[in-house]
Structure 1
Amino acid sequence: MSFDLDLFVIGGGSGGVRAARIAAAEGGARVALAEEYRMGGTCVIRGCVPKKLMVYASAFPGQIADARGYGWDAAAGGFDWPRFRTALEAELDRLERAYRSGLTGAGVTIHDTRATVLDPHTVQLATGQTLTARHILIATGGTPFVPDVPGAELALTSNDIFRLEALPRSILIVGGGYIACEFACILNGLGVQVTQYYRGAQILRGFDDEARGHVADAMAAQGIDIHCGADVLRMERAPGGGARVEATNGTDRTFDAVLYATGRRPNSAGLGLEPLGVQFGRNGQILVDGYSQTAVPSIFAVGDVTDRIALTPVAIREGHAFADTVFKGTPRQADHDLVASAVFTQPELAAVGLTEEAARDREPIEVYVASFRPMQTLFAGRQDRALFKLIVAQGSRKVLGCHIVGPGAAEMIQMVAIAIKMGATKEDFDRTCAVHPTMAEELVTMKKPIRRS
């Protein structure tokens, strides 16, 4: 059978773009890609990149206060949100152009429209055009999830934050995951009065208990009003503007804005996949095997739409592995083991490997912990504390997990991840000479476990 294309990719995020580019440039495939919004996907347009730039912006008040502690005559003026937002949009435009040029330079045809699947080898564009392809790759990412509560239409999601005309004076953030906590810290740093409701017992579920407790204490100390065991019952528009929120903890308060950060769901609905035999998980994720292939042999899926590990670098690796397997004749699977992650709260939380809770359920362990006030902020008079934690197997002596809370945690965890991925033992860490004076030296100077279990 003759096809118009070798590969049609639906979705212009990191995973889809990588797969398309490698298939075309290195695999010699005829490739087209459809994206209905902006090229770059969640990470570039409404996620990692704009969020991290907002993290940088929100940190300056603390840095300016520190400068005074170091003898500088420094003072912060007002934050100019429209000016920042204009610069942010310009940067996102630049990145989107880079994504487009990378694709076109590799010979990929771009369709700036929605695409759905008609049969295992045919896609239809919103323009009405149909194209056939030997293989179809779904890389449509995820979308914010807002629970069905009365007044939910009043809520913002993380997609909306970057497009606000003005910052609110007060905001309620609903959720306790990394997106909720990051935006709580960002907006607090930009001068917004932040309240956070989370229905669980502690924020940042899934991370090490000691580490997430450390972050929660630091956030509260910065003025973020965190209420665990609280959720929204209903919302309604307040007479003077904003939203009146009735909560499960008995409070009835009004906020200028409400941001729902209650997780993201795979963006898999309405693509035409169900009638073809593609299988889905309970959250709408497309089920795939280790090679990202669905139950329909010609249809593959990578990235957040598969809900394996919803991180940009993972999507990129899945897309690259798919292209290598299908178009370069070198079958390989993306490695999902020991993937490091970071939460850009203030302070940052970064981790790789097992939490203490997960490790002690698996085997006998030793736990090494160092908690201290970092030199830089200590001198400036801040009360910040950093936390370094290693989880070590008693039998093999391998380092099973590392958890860092403090400035630069994300930068440090990347290097630690290499050692842990290689199977480093605690004695390998101990044999490594410290770099002094640094925070990271704590990783190689913790000699005695604080507990065994």
Structure 2
Amino acid sequence: MAEFDVDLFVIGGGSGGVRAARIAAGHGARVMIAEEYRMGGTCVIRGCVPKKLLVYASHIHHEIEDAAGFGWTIPPATFDWPTLIANKDKEIARLEAAYTANVEKSGARIVKTRAVFEDAHSLRLGTGEIIKSKYVLIATGGAPNHGAAIPGIEHVISSNEVFHLKSLPKRILIQGGGYIALEFACIFAGFGCDVTLVYRGENILRGFDEDVRIHVRSEIEKEGITVLTGCTVSKVDKHGNEFTSHLSNGSSIASDQVMFAIGRHPNVANLGLEKADVAI
């Protein structure tokens, strides 16, 4: 009886895990890859790809405004958020199918379930099956981090949920000063939303060159985005379909959605790392 069921077990079907599984299988290794959600990971399913589609869509109104200068007469245009989201979902489904097909063609086996460590070489699947592997690759990526558990944190969405909003919010408050927060602030502003950006530091884009920070802030403010620095959201109240965000400076802001984009942390919760002697 073989000591191991597979040579390589990959936890996570994102870009890193998929690539590792395909290359290993291509060299003749027995490979199994576990993904509990959807193949493609953060970039394909809830990151780079859907975000770019929203960015492109939010820029269209600028093109329409400029068209008159190039001799085009365009009737008043309207925007439909559900149509954009439905088409985004179709493209993500297409890419997910491509990722799945490429892994299967390589000879690796996909198991659509969660996998956790029982020991350094044993993994328990969501089905209860135990798989023994010579090597294990943890490729679970990251997850949004909301920070401290403030009152009303359950009302806050992240960059995961934002791609599945059923309607476009007229007003949105976004907490964060990094590129993810700024990208979504510009996306929603491009769709005509009233956007407020809240950041704890003295200026956005910490770690970037100072002239870049100053210039980007100036430009997004010209687009109508309100930037509030030196404060944080300390509490979120819900009133029907609206929210009130209470800030640390004593002020409050009403909105239709509240989104936090203040950072990410390793997606390793309840993975059983301690059983495999893996320290974080």
**TM-score normalised by length of structure 2:** 0.97
How far is 1:69 from its partner?
2.4
Q: Distance in 1 between matches of 2:173 and 2:69?
A: 32
Which residue of the partner structure matches residue 269 of structure 1?
269
2:234 paired residue number: 233
Equivalence for 2:67: 67
1:177·1:203 contact (CA, 8 Å) conserved in 2?
yes
| Kept in 2: contact 1:33–1:109 (CA 8 A) | yes
Q: Equivalent residue for 1:189? A: 190
CA change 1:53–1:133 in 2 (3 A) is same
CA distance in 1, matches of 2:68, 2:231: 38
The residue aligned with 1:54 is: 54
CA displacement 1:283-336 (0-9 Å, x = unmatched): xxxxxxxxxxxxxxxxxxxxxxxxxxxxxxxxxxxxxxxxxxxxxxxxxxxxxx
Superposed CA deviations along residues 152-171 of structure 1, whole A, max 9, x for unmatched, are 00011110111111011100
Letter in 2 for 1:131: I
Secondary structure of 1:162's aligned partner: helix
**What's the counterpart of residue 133 of structure 1?**
133
Which amino acid in 2 is paired with 1:214? H
Matched residue, 1:448: none
> Offset at 1:76?
4.7
Residue by residue, what CA displacement relative to the aligned partner does 1:3-36 show, whole Å, maximum 9, x if unpaired?
11000000000000000000001x2100000000
Secondary structure in 2 matching 1:96: helix
Q: Distance in 1 between matches of 2:68 and 2:249?
A: 41
Q: Please state how far the C-alpha of 1:57 moved relative to its aligned partner.
A: 0.2
The residue correspondences of 1:210-359 to structure 2 (distance < 5 A) are: 210-238=211-239, 240-280=240-280
2:117/2:275 contact within 8 Å kept: no
- How far the C-alpha of 1:67 sits from its partner, in A, is 1.3
Say which SS state the counterpart of residue 86 (structure 1) adopts: helix
- 1-structure distance, mates of 2:186, 2:84: 17
Q: Secondary structure at the match of 2:271?
A: coil
Q: Describe how 1:105-184 pairs up with structure 2 within 5 A.
A: 105-147=105-147, 148-184=149-185
Give the secondary structure class of the aligned counterpart of 2:29: coil
Name the SS of the counterpart of 1:94 in structure 2: helix
Cα shift readout 1:202-237 (whole Å, capped 9, x = no counterpart): 111121111121111100000001111121111111
Q: In structure 2, what is the Cα distance between the partners aligned to 1:69 and 1:218?
A: 23
**Paired letter, 2:129:** Q
Q: Which residue does the alignment assign to 1:386?
A: none
Does structure 2 retain, via aligned residues, the 8 Å contact 1:121–1:135? yes
Say which one has the larger Rg.
1
**Separation (CA, whole Å) in 2 of partners of 1:246 and 1:172:** 11
1:73: how far off? 1.3
Distance across 2 between alignment mates of 1:156 and 1:216: 23
Residue deviations 1:380-403, cap 9 Å, x none? xxxxxxxxxxxxxxxxxxxxxxxx
Partner of 1:206: 207
Q: Distance in 1 between matches of 2:42 and 2:218?
A: 30
Please give the root-mean-square deviation of Cα atoms over the aligned residues, in Å: 1.1
The 2-side partners of 1:255 and 1:187 are apart by: 13
Superposition deviation, residue 250 in structure 1:
2.3
Asked if structure 1 preserves the Cα contact closer than 8 Å seen for 2:118 and 2:275, the reply is: no
Cα distance change on mapping 1:76 and 1:131 into 2, 3 Å: farther
Q: Per-residue CA shift, 1:218-267, capped at 9, x if unaligned?
A: 000000011111211111112x4211111122212211110111111111
- CA contact 1:185–1:219 (8 Å) conserved in 2: yes
Contact 2:156 2:257 in 1 (8 A): yes
CA distance in 2, matches of 1:275, 1:76: 61
- Rounded Cα–Cα distance in structure 1 between residues aligned with 2:270 and 2:125: 13
Unaligned runs of 5+ in 2: none
Report the 3-state secondary structure (helix = DSSP H, G, I; strand = E; otherwise coil) of the residue aligned with 2:86: helix
Contact 1:64 1:76 survives alignment (8 Å): no
Q: Hey, which bits of structure 1, 4+ residues long, moved more than 6 A?
A: none
- In structure 2, distance between residues paired with 1:72 and 1:5: 62
Question: How many Å apart are 1:75 and its aligned residue?
Answer: 4.6
Is 1:29 the counterpart of 2:34? The answer is no
Partner of 1:440: none
CA deviation vs aligned residue, 1:74-107 (integer Å, no higher than 9, x gap) = 3552211111111110100000000000000000
1:269 Cα deviation after fit: 1.7
The answer for the alignment partner of 1:377 in structure 2 is: none
Q: Deviations over 1:307-366 (max 9, x none)?
A: xxxxxxxxxxxxxxxxxxxxxxxxxxxxxxxxxxxxxxxxxxxxxxxxxxxxxxxxxxxx
- Aligned match of 1:39: 39
Matched residue SS, 1:158: coil
Uncovered stretches (5+) of structure 1, i.e. residues with no partner: 281-453
Quick check: 2:120–2:275 contact (8 Å CA) kept in 1?
no
Query: Highest relative contact order (Cα 8 Å, sep 6+), 1 or 2?
Result: 2
Distance 1:76 1:231, change over 3 A: farther
Supply the AA of the counterpart residue of 1:167: L
Q: Quick one: distance in 1 between partners of 2:273 and 2:248?
A: 39
- Aligned residues of 1:64 and 1:75 also touching (Cα < 8 A): no
